Each structure stands twice: as C-alpha cells, then as structure tokens.
Amino acid sequence: MSVPHAARADRVAAVLAERELDALVVTELTNVRYLTGFTGTNGVCVVSADERLFFTDFRYTERAESEVEGFERAPAARELLADVVKRVSGRVGFEDAHLSVRAHARLEKLVADADGDAELVAAGSLVEGLREVKDETELAAMRAAAELADGIYEHIRESGLLGRTELEVATDLERVMRERGTEPAFPPIVAAAANGALPHATPADEQIPADTLVVVDLGCLLDGYCSDATRTFATGELSDRAHEVYDLVATAQRTALDVLRPGTTGKQADSVAR
C-alpha cells in the first residue's frame, strides 16, 4: 500500500490557507517523516500553496532520493535552517511546540539577516492536528504492529516464565522482535511478584518465582508506528487475593472498552475504569 504523502501535504496547505499562512517550516522529525517519508535524523520540509521543499545534508542524499516523495529535494548545508530561510517569504509558520528556545532564536536571526519579507508565526501543533485522523496506510501499520506484539506474547506463553530471570525474558523477547522484522517501541517491562506494582519497573536479574503474577509490557515499532500492550501471566496457583485483584482489573478494563467509541476522550474512559 503506497503512502499518500502528496495528499498529506495538500491537507497541510489547506490549513495554511485557513490560517492565512504562506508556508509552514516543519522541523519535528516525526512530522517530517509523515509528510515526506524521510527516516533520517536531519531533515526539514517546507509546505506552501505551490511548493513542497525538502532539505537535508550530504549524509542523507541517497536516502532522501529513495525515500522522499512529492517534494523537491533542495540543496542544503548541514545547518539546514539557513538554506530554508532563503526559500520562504510572507507569513511563515513554524513548529513552536517542538522548536527549542535556542533554535527559535537562531531561526529569528536568520530571518532578520536575510533581509526579506518573511514573518515568523507560531503554528502550534498544526501537523499533529491532521495526524489525529489516521489514513488507511497508518491504520494498516498500526494493525501490523499490534499483530506482531500478539505474536511476541504467544512466544512468551510458549517459552514459559517460571525459573527464568526477568532480564532473561526481556532480552529474549527483544531478540524475537528483531528476528520478526520489528524493533521494541520502548524498553520492555517484565516484572514479577512485588515488582509488578512498580509503574515502570526495570527487568531485574532475579528468577521469577512460582505461584505469582508477572506483568509484561511491550510494544513493536513498525514503519514509524508503535503498538503497546500489557499482559499479566500466572506462574502457578494464585492466592484468593491475587485472583480478586486480577478479576477487578479485568472488569475495569472491559468496562472502559465498552464505552470506547468515536468522540470518547481518554479521560472519560479512564474515569469509568476507576
């Protein structure tokens, strides 16, 4: 399934017209990838009514040639903003939600030194607002990442937990992720017994005991999209209290799922579960 980069840039241009902006300078790399397909670590793109420009340095020339779609690849030095400023004019939006104070000061100085008619305007999270509504390629990537996570959990179930260390299990599941063509979306959590009560436990080099609960939290990163799932396993017979707590959490989860629908906020679902 091809990624609709051109359509995404067109949506940005439509919002620019609504906000009376002549261009948007996109510096946040996740947004740059969303609009252009570029996966490197130094890239900026500019969207205006009639131009789509992409800037990167010499290290990523070949990558940009193979990844960037629908944008003119403009020549640039390693310090990209100086070259970006030369190509913009009028009311120019910038991503103030991501630009550091130092980078913003640098951008302002470059605009002033250019002696042109560019005026910097804070554009907030303009691209993120569009990204809130996923297109079919994004949904497909998210589903695939979730399916990969399901497969990792099945591997954990088949491999077992009893007698292995938390660290051993975490290392093993990262290895299996990479063998299956994905990367960890975040450092996985494997936390047995009392460690499971820690919100972001670090896997310890301690054996997982029998007759306890083990919390595993992992996610897979695929094509820039992440899954994130938590599962709780039992390593034998559980106490009545452990059963009670497990059932309570499961009921809260099902109750929250029942209210999820378009328009429901995360806060609303959370309040129902609590």
DSSP notation for 139-178: HHHHHHHHHHHHHHHHHHHHH--TTSBHHHHHHHHHHHHH
CATH superfamily of 5-131: Creatinase/prolidase N-terminal domain (3.40.350.10)
pLDDT in tens, 140-156: 999 999 999 999 999 99
Is 70 in contact with 32 (CB distance < 8 Å)? no
User: CA-CA distance, 126 to 18, in Å (whole number)?
Assistant: 12
Task: Select the CATH number that applies to the domain covering 136-238 from these four: 1.10.10.10, 3.40.462.40, 3.30.70.330, 3.90.230.10.
Answer: 3.90.230.10
User: CA-CA distance, 153 to 207, in Å (whole number)?
Assistant: 19
Q: pTM value?
A: 0.88
pLDDT in tens, 60-93: 999 999 999 999 999 888 889 999 999 999 999 9
